[in-house]
Amino acid sequence: MSKTTTMRAVAAVFLAFAATNDAARAETAQDIVVASDKVRNPGEPFRSTNTLTEFVAGKPRDQNVLVVYAKEDPATHQFRNLIRYVAPPRDQGKMVLLDGRVLWFYDPNSKASVRISPQQRLIGQAAIGDVLTVNFAVDYSGTLLGDETIQDASRKDRQCWHLDMKAANDQAVYNRVEYWVEHGTNYPVKAKFYSDSGRLLKILYYRGFEEQLGRIRPTEAVIIDAVDTSLVTTFKFGDFHAQAIPDAWFQRDYLPRLQPE
């Protein structure tokens, strides 16, 4: 065997090893995201009440309250969401349906349903896209960047997997997400959300880990607007209830019929 042939063989083995190692890391990344999804999202259909408090330059300003009905679609393993505005009073009764690519906004004042684009999920400081129940593992493909110790929302050190997640389909709310998940518990700790152009849009910290619907889950999140860092929104996910939700609810014509529980 010539020297050149030997070097080629070594290079081939090295590349094969590197490829295998990357594949293993990618598979591991996906496992971590799946495990973290199970922490964030109940496995059964549920209803929760989300309170969003907006802070401008450090001072609390508006508060929005939304009731979210979510149910996993067994075909896609992604959640279907129905969102009903409870507060502020001017928005009370408005609704949003998000079912895959199909998004509708319903206003009880005009009794009109308007088709909206996925991009419209991101409108408003407290965007609908932030209160959706979403399985990241379905909408994103993750890569493990490394193992890092970062501080959580209460400035406590957490040993985390650092993941880089790219949108895997056109239903993903954001184009790219950086995600930190704690070793062992698979608790989500932090996420950074990026636009199609690569601009950092939001920084999110999970906190308030409590038992809800059978396991410890984050019940609060803090979102920093990375474009205007004087804007911060806190989310309180409360009042979790397991609830049978018929599939027929997730269509436009049901929106006017949805009754407060």
Q: Quick one: 35 or 249, whose CB is closer to other proteins?
A: 249
Is 209 near other proteins (CB under 8 A)?
no
The token pair at 54 is 């907006």
- In degrees to the nearest 10, what's the CA dihedral of 194, 73, 187, 241? 120
Smallest gap from residue 32 Cβ to other proteins (A): 18
Binding positions for other proteins, 233-252, rule CB under 8 A: 234, 236, 239, 241, 246-248, 251-252
Out of 25, 31, 34, 63, point to the residue binding other proteins (CB under 8 A): 63
- In degrees to the nearest 10, what's the CA dihedral of 49, 256, 41, 188? -60
Is 81 near other proteins (CB under 8 A)?
no
Strand blocks (E) in 39-89: 46-56, 59-72, 79-87
DSSP code for 108:
T
Q: Quick one: 27 or 228, whose CB is closer to other proteins?
A: 228
Binding positions for other proteins, 100-159, rule CB under 8 A: 100-103, 107-112, 114-120, 122-125, 148-151, 153, 155
State how far the Cα of 177 lies from the Cα of 61, in Å rounded to an integer.
28
Is 257 near other proteins (CB under 8 A)?
yes
Binding positions for other proteins, 164-193, rule CB under 8 A: 170, 190
How many angstroms separate the Cα of 163 from the Cα of each of 79, 82, 177, 191, 240? 22, 29, 8, 9, 28
Binding positions for other proteins, 14-53, rule CB under 8 A: 47, 49, 51, 53
- Is there a contact between 258 and 95 (Cβ–Cβ < 8 Å)? yes
Is 86 near other proteins (CB under 8 A)?
yes
Whether omega for the bond prior to residue 108 falls within 30 degrees of 0, making it cis, is no
Out of 140, 187, 194, 205, point to the residue binding other proteins (CB under 8 A): 205
Is 5 near other proteins (CB under 8 A)?
no
